[in-house]
Structure 1
């Protein structure tokens, strides 16, 4: 039997979707709101109070061009809420309606990214929870700043070549000792900037040496990013959370004071990010909590989309998501 025919048969006969449609179960938790003067329907395919737990994670996922907020239990990896909105006011409306305050008060930690909407939402609906900004989002943000410096230099090199051609001049083609041109060096160095020096291959070591010789600003930024990554390492031996937090705060303050004196804009941007989210970043050292499970859930959702011919039939897709992830 052809795969698509089997898929249609499963959808119409075995999945229970048709019966759920007939019984009015599809979209029963959706809300209607006015946006730009028009009545808009916001899909809320999953609302499962029993999946609220002590440790929760909140993240976003784009499906077929629509951004969904996903609130999941970090211990069970089950979805408690999935709603097609990122707006705090709508999320608060859904959560306060469907989740009892007693259950919400039991949430003790909320791991998230640096989005301000999730910060405010967490404060309003999970009043007893401390927030942990995901370590991997922080590192990703730093890496974007580091790569921005490399990209800036590459764009400058491309601009020089373009202007030389426009002026009918010959631009000198420099071949480096490893066989790279300057443009190739800047393009091929992307990967090595993500990893520490002790994990570089011999080719990467050679390329990094050339990159840092030609662009000392990239070297400075790279070393500072590595300092922050080492800062995230938990202390060795027995210690208390309070001692760890106090020590890490002092270490971070010293690092950031140095960062803010930098003439490299991207380094100053990193310092600003940390200073703006200091408390929530330090909360990582309470239980070493991250959004890793929420990110894994996102990847599982993406695989689910890929094996189900996408998400063009939105209602059926969301029904299937509820069955599999809640």
Structure 2
């Protein structure tokens, strides 16, 4: 429009207009970035893949809610020793003011939080717990789906040998067994109240054909409902105890593993019910990174990408 070539404009923007040349953290940005002034009383600790699967540990402020001023620190790698060494560059006075930090169940994240923010209450993000439960349900669905695929392949093979049309059973909603299991993946992530009319019909057939899927879905949904209720920490303890009993009686190995995982992080998981804090701010910032990376169709200059991201 103004007679300037795109490549030349990008070059001028990077070298002069953007302020990238004078960025104070430019020399070490690819390894770590720290903004102590963005530190608040409530923080989130998470990890994100920046480019080519390279993981970075990201510390964000919950009060900024993923907007400008969210980033407190972004450090290459997830090793607790390296991340702790960088975070300790933030003054002790600022770090001691942090009262709460949300994180996942990784041991390295817990160690980082303990060493860098000793006064902060650690809160295990509810969505990491619920994700494990949802994955256990999907694991059983996928197992049944492979069995259905094998069954259909065998029917087709036998029909081909006999030179007759394959007799593949079709349910009342028009799904074959293989399709029923494939098309049920999304609805098993949702609560019953959010199923559409067609999904309700499909799940009715699914649970009729696979009673174990109904039992395991009920366990996952029960855990979600505990989190969704506005209850105190003591009430949550009681409800989780009942849920543990249901898990033991069900006999599902995957949920027994989940139960043991919750027990190992019991206090930090229950801390959620103090103020119902989540890693939503960190996830919002991670989504911003992914969307920005998608707009640029990849990352060529990682340092400049980080500068653009936080500016």
Distance in 1, Cα, partners of 2:161 & 2:215: 33
Name which of 111, 116, 137 aligns with 1:120: 111
Encode CA deviations 1:247-288: one digit per residue, 9 max, x unaligned: 210110121122023222222233223222211111111111
Partner of 2:17: 14
Name which of 31, 40, 45 aligns with 1:53: 40
Partner of 1:84: 76
**Preserved CA contact (<8 Å) 2:155 2:167:** no
1:285 corresponds to 2:273: yes
CA RMSD of aligned residues (A): 2.1
Compared with structure 1, are the counterparts of its residues 191 and 5 closer, same or farther at alpha carbon in structure 2 (3 Å cutoff)? Answer: farther
Q: Which runs of 5+ in 2 are unaligned?
A: none
Distance in 2, Cα, partners of 1:296 & 1:111: 14
Partner of 1:306: 294
1:27 corresponds to 2:18: no
**Preserved CA contact (<8 Å) 1:260 1:268:** yes
Encode CA deviations 1:196-237: one digit per residue, 9 max, x unaligned: 22221111111000000011111001111111111113347x
SS at match of 1:189: coil
CA shift for structure 1 position 245: 1.4
**Preserved CA contact (<8 Å) 2:155 2:168:** no
Encode CA deviations 1:67-115: one digit per residue, 9 max, x unaligned: 011001111242111011100010111112x112221111110101111
Partner of 1:248: 236
- Number of matched pairs: 299
Compared with structure 1, are the counterparts of its residues 221 and 5 closer, same or farther at alpha carbon in structure 2 (3 Å cutoff)? Answer: farther
Partner of 1:321: 309
1:108 corresponds to 2:104: no
TM-score between both structures, scaled by the size of structure 2: 0.89
1:183 corresponds to 2:178: yes
Name which of 74, 77, 82 aligns with 2:62: 74
Distance in 2, Cα, partners of 1:25 & 1:211: 56
CA shift for structure 1 position 4: 5.0
**Preserved CA contact (<8 Å) 1:27 1:43:** no
SS at match of 2:27: coil
**Preserved CA contact (<8 Å) 2:125 2:278:** yes
Compared with structure 1, are the counterparts of its residues 150 and 162 closer, same or farther at alpha carbon in structure 2 (3 Å cutoff)? Answer: same
If asked which structure has higher relative contact order (CA below 8 Å, sep 6+), I would say 2
SS at match of 1:231: helix
Compared with structure 1, are the counterparts of its residues 121 and 169 closer, same or farther at alpha carbon in structure 2 (3 Å cutoff)? Answer: farther
Distance in 1, Cα, partners of 2:105 & 2:204: 34
Q: How does 1:264-275 map to 2 (within 5 A)?
A: 264-275=252-263
CA shift for structure 1 position 17: 2.2
Distance in 1, Cα, partners of 2:11 & 2:155: 59
Distance in 2, Cα, partners of 1:192 & 1:222: 10
CA shift for structure 1 position 165: 6.1
Distance in 2, Cα, partners of 1:16 & 1:109: 34
Distance in 2, Cα, partners of 1:191 & 1:127: 41
1:221 corresponds to 2:209: no
TM-score between both structures, scaled by the size of structure 1: 0.85
1:295 corresponds to 2:283: yes
Distance in 2, Cα, partners of 1:286 & 1:115: 21
Compared with structure 1, are the counterparts of its residues 157 and 123 closer, same or farther at alpha carbon in structure 2 (3 Å cutoff)? Answer: same
